[in-house]
Amino acid sequence: MIQAFIFDVDGTLIDSNDFHAEAWQKAFEKYDKKVPFDKIRPHIGKGADTLLPEFLSEKEIEEFGDEIADLRGEIFKDEYLSRVKPFPKVRELFQRIKADGKQIALASSANEDEVEEYKKIANIEDLVEKSTSADDAEKSKPEPDIFQAALKLLGNPAPETVLVVGDTPYDAEAATKAKLKIVGVLCGNFPEKDLREKGCVEIYRDPADLLENYVKIVSL
């Protein structure tokens, strides 16, 4: 029986994946790197440490990788954050989990200040005990660090009593490496095939679908 949930945030609870891809694209352009949106979009869900090597050489990363990552954050905050909306029924799902006596943690590769804003956007500030951010992980997804940090914040419950919810293959890969079960959601617009191949045990449409199937999910 599941006793604790660990949720990814971007693309899982809030509709932000395309905005992140656009922000990365604009940040790259400032450094004369023309990277098409459709090349960046499949890598959303990774942190900067694993996304940048897809598009920059080691020398470029050393010279201006941190600057691009910081600029991406500024662009996202200035141009896109106000446009981010939660997916339907996020608060209701979290209320259902809490009413059932379960714990909730967030595990995001976003910066800590972004995660705090996301809680407000999704109207779940009062329903989340713990949350991790990029600052809590040496390596971002698809490495397991962020989920291992979330487990620690939850008091290190038995892995079989914890369920991860995420929208990307990188969530699935990271959860699997952390020996955690994961269910995937399709609202982040990653292919169902990719989610299953990387380890998702079940696939649902979005948080509203998770809420509708809560009794089944909590018995995984």
Specify the pLDDT at position 55.
98
Specify the pLDDT at position 166.
98
Positions of E strands within 60-195 = 85-86, 103-107, 130-132, 162-166, 181-185
What one-character DSSP code corresponds to residue 206?
S
SS3 204: strand
The residue ranking higher by pLDDT, 35 or 113, is 35
Kindly report, residue by residue over 35-77, the tens digit of the pLDDT. 999 999 999 999 999 999 999 999 999 999 999 999 999 999 9
Question: What is the Cα–Cα distance from 107 to 121, expressed in whole angstroms?
Answer: 16
Question: What is the Cα–Cα distance from 60 to 53, expressed in whole angstroms?
Answer: 9
**Alpha-carbon distances, residue 161 vs 5, 129, 148 (angstroms):** 9, 17, 14
Give 129's pLDDT tier (boundaries 50, 70, 90): confident
Rounded to an integer, the average pLDDT of 102-111 is 90
> What is the chain's mean pLDDT, rounded?
96
SS3 131: strand
Q: At what angle do helices 145-153 and 169-177 cross, to 10 degrees?
A: 60
Kindly report, residue by residue over 184-204, the tens digit of the pLDDT. 999 999 999 999 999 999 999
Give 130's pLDDT tier (boundaries 50, 70, 90): confident
SS3 88: coil
Question: What is the Cα–Cα distance from 44 to 62, expressed in whole angstroms?
Answer: 21
Cα 3 off chain centre by: 20
Give 183's pLDDT tier (boundaries 50, 70, 90): very high
Specify the pLDDT at position 137.
86
